[in-house]
A and B are shown apart, each in its own frame.
Chain A
Amino acid sequence: MAKLFERRLTPADSPLAIISRTTAAFLAAMLVAAFLFVSYGAHPLQAYFALFHEPFATLRGFGYTLARASPLALIGLGTIVTWRAGFSYLGFEGCFVLGSTSTAWLALSTASGGRIGHVPFFLFLSIAILFGFVSGGAWAGLVAVMRARFGGNEVLISLMSNYVAIFILQYTVSGPLRAPGSLPETRLLPRTTWLPFILPGTRAHAGILIALAAAGLVWTLLQKMPLGYELIVTGLNPLAARYAGIDVSRRFVLAAFLGGGLGALAGMVEVLGAQHRLMDGISGGMGFVGIIVALLARLNPLAVIPTALLYGGMSVGADAMQRRANIPSSITFILESLLVLLVLASDVLRYYEINASSLWCRSPQTVDGQASE
């Protein structure tokens, strides 16, 4: 009798196969999480309704979803650029923090009586993007230089550099830029520097447009430009890259610069679009969630937008769920982690095909048992 799962020699990579196994992974993750909801005495369907209704089916909630998704998408894009070049950078938390710090400093300098004085918004935004990008890019580029020059381990160095960046932020908000008051935070940024809100009556801001534009640019770079080709070759096979005349060290540094810059733009978007001031703990782990967003998108720059919306939405929905179904919002973290784990694990399924015919010969219980796997 034929086995239900037959091993294949070549992986199935058709769009249908990708969609179906990703869907299966999502359903499996939600099924597992449903048991957690039950353990809190909640009905899983009601909990899921609470989790997804507000962020995706109400205008106000969707505005929040867009606002949360923008920095996540930018960090995800930064992850894609660095990781596809084979540079395992984990310092996006630091880039985010530096991007928000430099932007806040710049914005406060344009306030009346500031160092620079008032400038038109678009000029300000262009300078802020450039300034933020270079600050994060240089920060990450430094790690790449250390690896290229001295063979340092970029995973360790970049993780540690996060703490340094956070200390810089803490110094800034409790020292030079501290607003009068008890909290370590700056004054509210001048309204003229805020990113415009794009949906009337919501908190959705123009950051999502920046993220969309960045996704388009990253996609163009990687898919359409010779430089992107060189980055991908470097990531897949550094030896072949050197053989092909590609300067591997320089490509590492460049990829780190671009990725760090995108991570810093996430910080800029957050501070100009959502918080409107700089405070300690502004990143809240976003630098790591953004990496997960990129992994869930399988390092595809266009797929980052929907996955960022999903994760942004879930963080909005988690609060609603806590209010309505009385389930701790931290359960969403478990669901988010399950999603990534199972979607990545579903790669194994590429190597199997299902023999539908073998189903008829089995008892119904076995069939159910197998199907829920």
Chain B
Amino acid sequence: MKHTLEMRNIVKRFPGVLASNRVNLTLRAGEIHALLGENGAGKTTLMQILYGFHSMDSGEILIDGERVHLKSPKDAISLGIGMVHQEFMLLQPFSVAENTILGLREGHGPLLDLQGASEKLKELSNRHGLALEPAAKVSSLSVGEQQRVEIVKLLYRDARLLILDEPTAVLTPQEKDRLFVVLRRLRENGRSAVIVTHKLKEVVELADRVTVMRDGQAVATRTIQETSQRELTQLMFGREVSFLADKAQQQPGAPVLEINELRVEDETGRESICGVSLQVHAGEILGIAGIEGNGQSELAAAIVHLQGMKSGRIILNGTDVTNLNVARRRALGISYVPADRRRMGSVVEMSVADNAILGLQRKYTRGLFRSIDDARELARALIARFAIRASSIDAPAGKLSGGNLQKLILGREITRGSGVLIVEQPTRGLDVAAVESVWGELLRARQEGKAILLISAELEELLNLSDRIAVIFEGRIMGIVDPAAASIEQIGRMMAGISAGTTSPTPSAVTEAQHGQIV
């Protein structure tokens, strides 16, 4: 059988690392092929070779049976290969049509044929079910729509093979379903797609075949019918991993963190948080669900005081901390694991040991001087307790993988002995093994009696960990639900602002009797 794409024995060696070790990958016309593996397994390197970003040391690439040489992404595009990156490359003030033809010469002579482009775009959009309006400004589009603009850009250039790198990382459940519909439609129209992912569920839901990568090798290729999530996990890790967090039953204690009628304004005067009131109790995890950009980050920033607030009060252990600065709030017992672990949670240029005391620099001292020995000891203790893989505590923290860096930050914030833990997107971009250990640590902190506010875009994570889930939409809490009773669809509707749930003011109020009330 003739393949659309065939990658044979691809070898790519970076000094010290064999990123791609005799990898084979085939792709049929009209196929969705998942490339599954942990972070660092070599998925991205392989796709970057296919997209012409990296040269390969040996091996060959065949397109429609013809051997091709890809020296740059330009070559790849001319051969009909397109890639949607995790970070979109769109100009926000431009329209969909303008973004689409960016870099192309459309029209005759010096005049731009935006009209013609819009018509072609409209036609493509209809044929593939993208539902895009050519004249709409990209800045007014949702994340899911922006992703579809990226896809239509590729279709406009007549790409037959689409590479999507972690396409669902930034999407809501509804947007994810929408994307899958689009991809299935593309498949019907004879185009092929490679989905780079580490999410098993999506593979099973969407793909026709899957190639699993581990340590730079393609360990297996399976059709979806002949495999199972369980087998794929084993292939990915070489062992079995459990997906359900073991959450011990426990009665939450007294409220530790109280947020009353919080309002936050951004620079333009728009309210990003409009009167949020929440209570987090000792020994409970309060989840915050919501589509990104609905005020979650602002909520965390206001609690920690990285951002000023317009009105409202924040009470920590009965003390009003509304007018205290970051350092004072941290000293009084607020810990924070920010979403951006490389830009906020750590200083990537500094060593692991120096990062272990970030925020604690005034504590780890002897007299006037820093106690570097104590900092190193702390770093070693964190590495041991949280199973962080680091070549050395003197290595720059930026060299740690995402999961290990996250464990370092989480470990630092958990062990500094504060009662409240604000955790934002704790497992974003982490592989399954790292997710498992981060979840375990959060549950351990819950059992130790910490009050945890968990902000996450992953519903699965919230459902697994939270004692209660508050759903936020446009800066307002739509309702608080019991994860044991609520369905993904219900929470999804609340996330989209369509329906409100029943608000239960205290955790003990969520009882069996109320399960049916959540609409």
For B304, the chain A residues whose CB sits under 8 A away are 243
Closest CB in chain A relative to B354 CB, distance in Å: 7
The reply to whether B359 and A232 form a contact with Cβ atoms under 8 Å apart is no
Pick the interface stretch among B23-31, B121-129, B340-348.
B340-348
Partner among B306, B349, B370 whose Cβ is within 8 Å of the Cβ of A225: B370
**Known pairs A8-B15, A225-B369; A240 contacts B326 (CB<8 A):** no
Tell me how many residues of A have a C-beta within 8 Å of chain B. 25
Closest CB in chain A relative to B308 CB, distance in Å: 12
Closest CB in chain B relative to A147 CB, distance in Å: 18
**Known pairs A236-B349, A244-B358; A9 contacts B336 (CB<8 A):** no
The reply to whether B399 and A240 form a contact with Cβ atoms under 8 Å apart is no
Pick the interface stretch among B35-43, B257-265, B284-292, B360-368.
B360-368
For A115, the chain B residues whose CB sits under 8 A away are none
Answer yes or no: A29 CB below 8 A from chain B CBs.
no
Answer yes or no: A229 CB below 8 A from chain B CBs.
yes
A228 to B330, CA, bound (A): 20
Chain B residue nearest in CB terms to A242: B306
The reply to whether B347 and A237 form a contact with Cβ atoms under 8 Å apart is yes
A178 to B25, CA, bound (A): 84
The reply to whether B306 and A226 form a contact with Cβ atoms under 8 Å apart is no
A240 to B306, CA, bound (A): 10
Answer yes or no: B17 CB below 8 A from chain A CBs.
yes
Answer yes or no: A323 CB below 8 A from chain B CBs.
no
The reply to whether A233 and B365 form a contact with Cβ atoms under 8 Å apart is no
**Known pairs A8-B15, A237-B343, A240-B345; A225 contacts B350 (CB<8 A):** no
Partner among A10, A225, A226 whose Cβ is within 8 Å of the Cβ of B399: A10
For B345, the chain A residues whose CB sits under 8 A away are 240, 243
Chain B residue nearest in CB terms to A234: B347
For B348, the chain A residues whose CB sits under 8 A away are 237
The reply to whether B349 and A226 form a contact with Cβ atoms under 8 Å apart is no
**Known pairs A7-B15, A230-B361, A236-B347; A243 contacts B338 (CB<8 A):** yes
In this complex, the member of A225, A228, A240, A353 whose beta carbon has the largest number of chain B beta carbons within 10 angstroms is A240
For B372, the chain A residues whose CB sits under 8 A away are 224
For B331, the chain A residues whose CB sits under 8 A away are 245
For B368, the chain A residues whose CB sits under 8 A away are 225
The reply to whether A245 and B15 form a contact with Cβ atoms under 8 Å apart is no
For A10, the chain B residues whose CB sits under 8 A away are 16, 399
**Known pairs A9-B15, A225-B370, A226-B370; A236 contacts B325 (CB<8 A):** no
Chain A residue nearest in CB terms to B326: A245
**Known pairs A225-B368, A229-B354; A239 contacts B344 (CB<8 A):** yes
The reply to whether A240 and B346 form a contact with Cβ atoms under 8 Å apart is yes
Answer yes or no: B327 CB below 8 A from chain A CBs.
yes
For B326, the chain A residues whose CB sits under 8 A away are 242-245
Which residues of chain B from 296 to 349 have any CB-CB distance to chain A below 8 Å in the complex?
304, 306, 325-331, 336, 338, 343-349
Closest CB in chain A relative to B207 CB, distance in Å: 31
The reply to whether B350 and A232 form a contact with Cβ atoms under 8 Å apart is yes
Closest CB in chain B relative to A266 CB, distance in Å: 26
- Chain B 368-402 interface 0/1 with A at a Cβ cutoff of 8 Å (1 = within): 11101000000000000000000000000001000
**Known pairs A9-B17, A229-B370, A247-B327; A240 contacts B349 (CB<8 A):** no
A243 to B358, CA, bound (A): 9
Closest CB in chain A relative to B498 CB, distance in Å: 35
Closest CB in chain B relative to A319 CB, distance in Å: 42
Closest CB in chain A relative to B344 CB, distance in Å: 5
A117 to B121, CA, bound (A): 87
Closest CB in chain A relative to B517 CB, distance in Å: 39
Closest CB in chain B relative to A1 CB, distance in Å: 13
Answer yes or no: A18 CB below 8 A from chain B CBs.
no
Chain A residue nearest in CB terms to B368: A225
Closest CB in chain A relative to B240 CB, distance in Å: 32
Closest CB in chain B relative to A108 CB, distance in Å: 37
**Known pairs A224-B369, A225-B369, A226-B370; A244 contacts B399 (CB<8 A):** no
Partner among B17, B347, B357, B370 whose Cβ is within 8 Å of the Cβ of A240: B347
A6 to B15, CA, bound (A): 8
A353 to B16, CA, bound (A): 12
- Chain B 1-39 interface 0/1 with A at a Cβ cutoff of 8 Å (1 = within): 000000000000011110000000000000000000000
Answer yes or no: A349 CB below 8 A from chain B CBs.
no
Which residues of chain A from 211 to 266 have any CB-CB distance to chain B below 8 Å in the complex?
220, 224-226, 228-230, 232-233, 236-237, 239-240, 242-247
A226 to B347, CA, bound (A): 15
For B359, the chain A residues whose CB sits under 8 A away are 243-245
For A245, the chain B residues whose CB sits under 8 A away are 325-331, 359
For A230, the chain B residues whose CB sits under 8 A away are 361
The reply to whether B344 and A229 form a contact with Cβ atoms under 8 Å apart is no
For A232, the chain B residues whose CB sits under 8 A away are 350
For A220, the chain B residues whose CB sits under 8 A away are 369
A228 to B350, CA, bound (A): 13
A14 to B89, CA, bound (A): 38
For B336, the chain A residues whose CB sits under 8 A away are 243
For A237, the chain B residues whose CB sits under 8 A away are 343-344, 347-349
A226 to B374, CA, bound (A): 13
Closest CB in chain B relative to A259 CB, distance in Å: 21
Which residues of chain B from 209 to 264 have any CB-CB distance to chain A below 8 Å in the complex?
none
The reply to whether A226 and B350 form a contact with Cβ atoms under 8 Å apart is no
**Known pairs A236-B347, A243-B338; A226 contacts B15 (CB<8 A):** no
A226 to B354, CA, bound (A): 11
For B14, the chain A residues whose CB sits under 8 A away are 9
For A233, the chain B residues whose CB sits under 8 A away are 347, 350, 358, 361
For A247, the chain B residues whose CB sits under 8 A away are 325, 327
A134 to B328, CA, bound (A): 30
In this complex, the member of B304, B306, B329, B362 whose beta carbon has the largest number of chain A beta carbons within 10 angstroms is B362
The reply to whether B327 and A246 form a contact with Cβ atoms under 8 Å apart is yes
The reply to whether B361 and A353 form a contact with Cβ atoms under 8 Å apart is no
In this complex, the member of A7, A10, A228, A229 whose beta carbon has the largest number of chain B beta carbons within 10 angstroms is A229
Closest CB in chain B relative to A97 CB, distance in Å: 33
A6 to B370, CA, bound (A): 40
A296 to B370, CA, bound (A): 28
- Chain A 100-120 interface 0/1 with B at a Cβ cutoff of 8 Å (1 = within): 000000000000000000000
Chain B residue nearest in CB terms to A224: B369
Chain B residue nearest in CB terms to A229: B361
A228 to B372, CA, bound (A): 13
For B369, the chain A residues whose CB sits under 8 A away are 220, 224-226
The reply to whether B399 and A239 form a contact with Cβ atoms under 8 Å apart is no
For A240, the chain B residues whose CB sits under 8 A away are 343-347, 358
Closest CB in chain A relative to B302 CB, distance in Å: 13
Chain B residue nearest in CB terms to A243: B344
**Known pairs A224-B369, A236-B350, A239-B344; A244 contacts B15 (CB<8 A):** no
Chain A residue nearest in CB terms to B370: A226
Closest CB in chain A relative to B120 CB, distance in Å: 41
A143 to B231, CA, bound (A): 63
Q: Which B residues have a C-beta under 8 Å from some C-beta of A?
A: 14-17, 304, 306, 325-331, 336, 338, 343-350, 354, 357-359, 361-362, 364-365, 368-370, 372, 399
Beyond known contacts A233-B350, A239-B343: 20 more, CB 8 A cutoff:
A7-B15, A9-B17, A10-B16, A225-B369, A226-B361, A226-B364, A226-B369, A228-B370, A230-B361, A232-B350, A233-B358, A233-B361, A236-B350, A237-B347, A240-B346, A243-B338, A244-B326, A245-B326, A245-B328, A245-B330
Among all A-B residue pairs, the 6 with the closest Cβ atoms: A245-B327, A244-B359, A245-B326, A226-B361, A237-B347, A224-B369
26 of the cross-chain contacts (CB-CB < 8 Å) are A9-B14, A9-B16, A220-B369, A224-B372, A226-B365, A228-B370, A229-B357, A230-B361, A233-B358, A237-B343, A237-B344, A237-B347, A237-B348, A237-B349, A239-B343, A242-B326, A243-B336, A243-B338, A243-B344, A243-B358, A244-B326, A244-B361, A245-B327, A245-B329, A245-B359, A247-B327
Q: Which A residues have a C-beta under 8 Å from some C-beta of B?
A: 6-10, 220, 224-226, 228-230, 232-233, 236-237, 239-240, 242-247, 353
